[in-house]
Amino acid sequence: MVAQTRAGNSAPKRLAFSEKIVGKGLATDALLKKLKALHTELAELDQELVDVNSLSTVRTQLVNTSILLHKDRGVKAYAACCLADILRLYAPDAPYTHTELRDIFQFFFRQLATGLRGADASYYNEYFHLLESLSTVKSVVLVCDLPHAEELMVDIFRDFFGLVRRDLAKKIEIFIADILVALIDECQALPSEVLETIMAQFMANDVQPAYRLAVQVCNATADKLQRHVCQYFTDIIVAHSHESDSESNFEEIRKAHELVKQLSRSCPSLLHSVIPQLEEELRVEEVQVRLIATQALGEMFSEKGGAELVKKYPTTWNVWLMRKNDKATAVRLKLVESAKGLLVNLHDHRETVDELMRLKLLDPDEKVRAAVCKVYSQLDYETVLHYVSEDQLRSIAGRGMDKKNSVRVEALNSLGKIYSTAYPEIENNDPAAIRHFSWIPNEILHISNSTQEARLAAEQVIADFVFPLPSGSSAPTSKNVDVNEVAWTDRLLNTMSYLDDRGVNAVLLLSGIKGSRPSPYELYLQSCVQHNGGVIDEDEDVVKQRLNNVIRHISRQFGDPQKAAEDLHAFARANENRSYKLLKTCLDTQTDLKGLVKSSNEFLRRIELSSESILGTMTVFLRRATLRIVNQSSVSTLIKRVQRADSKHAQTLLTYISKHCPSLYRPHTSELTKAIADEKNARLVEAGMQALAAVSQSDEALAVNDKRTLERVMRYVLGSNARVAKFAARILVASKEHDDLCAEAVESIARKLSTAEPDLLVAHTAVLAQFARLAPDAFERKSDVLMAFLVKKLLMVPSPADPDEMDSDADWVEDGDVQPRLRARILALKVCRNRCLAHASTDTALEVATPVLKMLSTLLDHAGSYSADATDDPKVKSRMRLQAAISLLHLSIVDKFATAINTNFISLAITVQDPCYNVRMEFLMKLFPLLTARKLPPRYNLIPFLTVHDPEADIKSRAISYITHASRNISAAAKVDLFEIIFIRLLHLLAHHPDFSTAHENLQEMAKYIDFYLDLIASSDNVSLLYHLAMKAKTVRDGQSHTYSENLYAMSELTQELIKARAQARSWSLQSYPGKVKLPSDILRSLPNPEAATKILKTVYLPEETSAWLLESSKTQKPAGTSKEKRREPREPKDSKSPPKRKASRHRANGTTKRVKTARWNSDQSESEEEPSSDDSEQDDREETPTNPSSEREVGSSGQESDEKESNDKKITPNRKLSRKAGTRAKRKISKQVKKSNHARKP
């Protein structure tokens, strides 16, 4: 006890008070008056100068029961003050017995508990004096020496913690804390109930006075309480860990750990012995205990004081980190969930935390991987910028391709949220923000183009965080929705400035600009209106079927097609006119940004209120159906931005709109007319001309007819800028006076063509290509002069290689480096093609087209030249044969041209195996849109299957992507026509392939084509049909020669064995096909007699070595149940990808006059990276198809061949054959070369 000492030499002062305070008949008022006087005098006495003997009378009277048990509060309040003063004056020796002291202290704390309230309460000053005396004199420590002191201490602590909750003055809290600290310091053994009382305060709100009091007491007595707290915690764990199956026991353990976390925040010094105990819990076998301890320590390390905790308990920190490999998923999950605080507060341990998170991104459990991704979405911008590395963010991006949807969603959401918070800094050109975050949209966009599953999550993130719609007004009925169209468009352009070509293409695809109009979503809305909630007046079956078909088509694009279809049907059944009207407004391409925001918000709000279950589906529907990335509100800003030096992406967007949705320009024709008048800004003029041409062609009412503008357009038509001239020509064609204007332009060009400079020649040829297609009457006025010049003076003129050129072996030239003369030749081929298309519906179509088809076929035969011995520049030849192949594709759209081209189909098809990578890639990129639109005959779907041997993985993967997407998104009947019936044509094509021979090694290569086809198309449903077609190949003969018939029979046998092996491995039932199949008569003929058929069926055309190989291969086939999707994934060899693109060598086959295509894919020489082809498709993509492709003419396996058909074929097609023997010899030489080169590449 802290005691004050008396001064020995001072004269003691005696108490003057001598009245009695105990006795019968003493009135309360009189007693109160006496006690006040006594208190006043006692309070003024100094402990060192008082004569304690003079206090003996009042000392005795004050403990009389008549005083201690008096009914009056005032009497008891003053009595308590007097007793406190007596104890102060007698200190350090108390003048009372233990019993009396017990009564006194109980009296003290009873008075305080019942009387001490606010400052305005009665006798507040007396209670304050009492509390102050106990605090300063420390007389309260006498309690510790009393019998049964533990009970009294428990009462004191409970009373005081109850008292402090009354929100008293701060000084009172300090007095109470001093009293409790003194009790703890002086007590011999701390009662467990006292500790429980203290600990209970930590489980309350940390802003409560009782909590603050507990913190003060614990921090002041930490040294003494450490052992008690540890024991307290141990007792709880031991008491509740025996019955491990009881959830209530774990709940108590959980509460104890919550207490430890609270203590860690406010009184960490109490936990000196507790933290090691938590460390031991991390090692126990019981999962729940490990889980609770992991969570508790994780949260403690994550607090602001976590760094100090790690420093003080490094062993515990390391053991906690080892829980990353815990066998229990829940434990690993709790570890990861703590990482946010670690990243924010443990800056000195950043590398350790990064490594932990990077490792857990690859955790086998999806919940852990998702939790890691979610952690980063919860971080603020500054933390991510300074304490999360770019590599770590890219690792999260990698999880955007995770197999599990939950992980994909969390990963992409994290990236999206991070980018959204960083965008303002990126917009302000902050170098650190640009370096750290600008790549994120590009990564998300790449993911959106990968798989159907990843696309859904990526689209949502792009819509929410990368290109969000302005929020607009919160009130759905507000007429003034405030949106910033310029900022919205600038955000798109700014984001695109950091995208690569793939990313830009993904943005364009997601924009919804490209696509047929009306779109499937508009057709759905129309069907809903016609369906009328099921109340249909007429054509009920037709209306229902139309609705079902469009819902089936749309729902295929959702993650859960069945749920999407149900929701779309539910929306149709609801039949809400207001929702229909809002949706129509959203889908309208003429709706501006403000209208889109307002209508979208109201539409989704109505859906949420009426049918919340379909909200998710309709949100995705609305996002895909509307122009929320670019719409007509963007055009004005894009026109302004295209004038800047960094206007690349503004021009890209305008070009894309011009190609695919020119209706967006309708409100902006005056702006476009002004744009083309600014002749000093070539970029603006080009974009404006293209846009004006597009809108003029799409809507006659918007065509340019202003005389002054047309004069300017005419100058552009006759100018030397090829692209501007081309677009200007389209504007002239769309004008009212187009006949005269186009004729005038043609006349002028015809006069100047022969003397035109190279750039002007290119421009004039580009204009002629437009007139040949769109203004054939004007073109034909001078067609004899024009065609004679183009063919004789341009196309037929040799183009030898430049002897001074350094890279003489290069076989490709990039678009920007194409010489004007070559550009003019390419455009001349387009003139020929377009002229044929313009005459497609006339009686002279074949007369006009026959020489063109012959010329194009010759270019393919001679690798881009018109003769086998030509010495043209390889770069010119690659460009010419590419354009020839693309022209033949476009001509194949017309039925009569397709029939004529059919005899050259194999030469055209194996363009996809060209030695030049760029030719192969560009050919495929032109083929896919035509196939997707079903403009080409079904046999053209064979071409992508020929990419199986391509040395570049991207070409094969694009082919796989097309085939997979196309075959999944069509009806079963369409799949039969487009992908299954053509199987017989694939066998025929391979039989005619220049590489074909019956040598075993060659047949192994042929088998890869068949396996590739079967991987992508075969299933248990169609395997019988495919096997039937393979067998039928031995019941007919080839239409060209007996040699090719034998090749076909060998392919038939090879294919049958491959199908049987596949069916056996996958447990498919290979039954006889029940239907009747007619084989194509254009390539196959009936056998002359039954004897020939019998002989062929009995003859085996496969070598014995091949048969044995097939038998052995069938034993090692993948077992049933192997995922088809996995088989479909292209696998690229580890050493097959080098920076330059590879090509096949081009050997001549013993001097043959034909280009041997066996060499197209068998070498690995270098080729430049993929680049878009020169301007050749902007108009083609939108040109009207003159006729639809006709169905293939077919003949039954026992039918008769048409002599008329054969004679017609001979008239149209030059007498030419692919030399199989020459091709085989070349193949052997090339194979040896490839083996040598492959051997040289091996480490």
Helix (H, G, I), strand (E, B) or coil at 238: helix
Give residue 1150's pLDDT.
29
Residue 44 confidence (pLDDT) above 80: yes
* CA distance linking residue 188 with residue 194, whole number of Å: 13
Question: Which pLDDT tens digit goes with each residue over 1181-1201?
Answer: 333 333 333 333 333 333 333
pLDDT at 123: 85
Q: Percentage of residues in the chain with pLDDT exceeding 90?
A: 49
Residue 878 has pLDDT above 60, yes or no: yes
Mean pLDDT of 194-221: 83
Q: Tell me the pLDDT tens digit for each residue of 415-430.
A: 999 999 999 999 999 9
- Token pair 């769309």: residue: 734
Q: Is pLDDT of 178 > 50?
A: yes
pLDDT computed for residue 1166 by the predictor: 30
Residue 34's pLDDT band (cuts 50, 70, 90): confident
Judged by average pLDDT, the poorest of 58-72, 324-338, 720-734, 1014-1028 is 58-72
Report the pLDDT value the prediction gives residue 668, as an integer from 0 to 100. 92
What's the alpha-carbon Rg for the chain, to the nearest Å?
Answer: 45
User: Which among 579, 481, 550, 568 has a CA at the least distance from the CA of 587?
Assistant: 579
In the structure encoding, which two tokens stand for residue 1072, read together?
């006889």
Is the per-residue pLDDT at 590 higher than 80? yes
- Among 780-789, 999-1008, 1044-1053, 1194-1203, where is mean pLDDT lowest? 1194-1203
At residue 26 the predicted structure's pLDDT band, cuts being 50, 70 and 90, is confident
Structure tokens at 38: 């006594």
Helices (H), 497-634: 501-510, 520-531, 540-555, 561-574, 577-587, 593-610, 615-625
Residue 1165: strand, helix, or coil: strand
- Number of other CB atoms surrounding residue 629 within 10 Å: 22
Q: Is the pLDDT of residue 1217 over 60?
A: no
Of the candidates 929, 950, 949, 927, the one whose C-alpha atom is nearest the C-alpha of residue 940 is 927
> Is the per-residue pLDDT at 1227 higher than 60?
no
Kindly state the average pLDDT of the residues 1121-1132.
36
CB atoms within 10 A of CB 11: 7
Return the pLDDT at 1118.
54
Q: Which residues contact 977 (CB under 8 A, 6 or more apart)?
A: 938
Neighbours of 542 (CB within 10 A): 11
Only one residue has tokens 């925040």, namely 265
pLDDT tens column, 500-547: 999 999 999 999 998 888 899 999 999 999 988 888 888 888 999 999
Over residues 90-102, the mean pLDDT reads: 85
* pLDDT value at 1208 more than 80: no
Mark 964-984 as b/e (b = at least 16 C-beta within 10 Å): eebbeebeeeebbbbbbbbbb
Tokens of 803: 């002897």
* 198/190 Cα distance (integer angstroms): 11
How far apart, in whole angstroms, are the C-alpha atoms of residue 569 and residue 573? 6
Over pLDDT 70: what percentage of the chain? 86
pLDDT at 1220: 34
The residues near 454 (Cβ < 8 Å, ≥ 6 apart) are 400, 401, 408, 447, 448
Spatial distance between the Cα atoms of 1181 and 899, rounded to a whole number of angstroms: 22
The residues facing 1143 across adjacent strands are 1165
Q: Please report where in the chains the tokens 């026991």 appear, as a residue.
A: 249
Mean pLDDT of the chain: 83
Q: Is the pLDDT of residue 165 over 50?
A: yes
What pLDDT, on the 0 to 100 scale, is given for residue 807?
A: 60
What are the pLDDT digits (tens) for 229-263?
Answer: 888 888 877 766 655 555 666 788 888 888 888 88
Contacts 24+ apart (CB under 8 A), 901-908: 901/853, 902/939, 902/1082, 902/1209, 903/1209, 903/1212, 903/1213, 904/853, 904/857, 904/860, 904/1213, 905/939, 905/989, 906/989, 906/992, 906/993, 906/1218, 907/857, 907/860, 907/861, 907/1157, 907/1218, 908/860
User: What local confidence, expressed as pLDDT, does residue 91 receive?
Assistant: 81
Determine the distance from the C-alpha atom of residue 751 to the mean position of all C-alpha atoms in its chain, rounded to a whole number: 57
Whether the upstream peptide bond of residue 951 has omega within 30° of 0, thus cis, is no
pLDDT at 1043: 86
Q: Where is mean pLDDT largest: 152-166, 371-385, 1138-1152?
A: 371-385
Which residues have CB under 8 Å from 108's CB, separation 6+? 80, 83, 84, 130, 134
Name which of 308-317, 470-479, 608-617, 999-1008 the model is least confident about.
470-479
pLDDT digit string, tens, across residues 706-717: 889 999 999 999
Please tell me the predicted confidence (pLDDT) of residue 768.
95
Q: For residue 942, what pLDDT is reported? A: 94
C-alpha span between 391 and 396 (Å, rounded): 9
Intra-chain end-to-end CA distance of the chain, in Å:
86
Alpha-helical segments (H) within 910-1041: 917-932, 953-968, 972-975, 983-992, 1000-1017, 1023-1032
Q: Return d(Cα 1011, Cα 1195) in angstroms, integer.
A: 27
pLDDT of residue 320 exceeding 60, the answer is yes
Q: Determine the pLDDT at residue 472.
A: 54
Which of 325-334, 767-776, 1115-1124 shows the lowest mean pLDDT across its residues?
A: 1115-1124
Closest CA to 884 of 848, 905, 909, 855: 855
Residue 294 has pLDDT above 90, yes or no: yes
CB 467 within 8 A of CB 629: yes
d(CA 604, CA 1135): 51
Task: For residue range 1057-1114, list pLDDT tens digits in order.
Answer: 999 999 999 999 988 998 888 899 989 999 989 998 999 999 999 999 999 998 888 7
Q: How far apart are CA 1023 and CA 1006, in angstroms?
A: 19
Task: Work out the pLDDT band at 985, boundaries 50, 70, 90.
Answer: very high
Name the pLDDT band for 136 (thresholds 50, 70, 90): confident
Contact 1018, 1182 (CB under 8 A): no
340-365: per-residue pLDDT in tens? 999 988 888 989 999 999 999 999 99
Copy the structure tokens of residue 734: 């769309």
What pLDDT is attached to residue 113?
Answer: 82
Averaged over 838-843, what is the pLDDT? 91
Q: What is the pLDDT of residue 606?
A: 93
Task: Give the number of other CB atoms < 10 A from CB of residue 1064.
Answer: 14
| Residue 1080 three-state SS | strand
Cα separation values, 416 from 380, 423, 425, 472, 972, Å: 13, 10, 15, 21, 39
Q: What is the mean pLDDT of residues 444-460?
A: 88
Out of 268-272, 508-512, 885-889, pick the least confident. Answer: 268-272
Mean pLDDT score, 1221-1232: 40
| Cβ 909 vs Cβ 946: under 8 Å | yes
Give me 684's structure tokens.
Answer: 């603006």
- Whether the pLDDT of residue 1126 is over 70: the answer is no
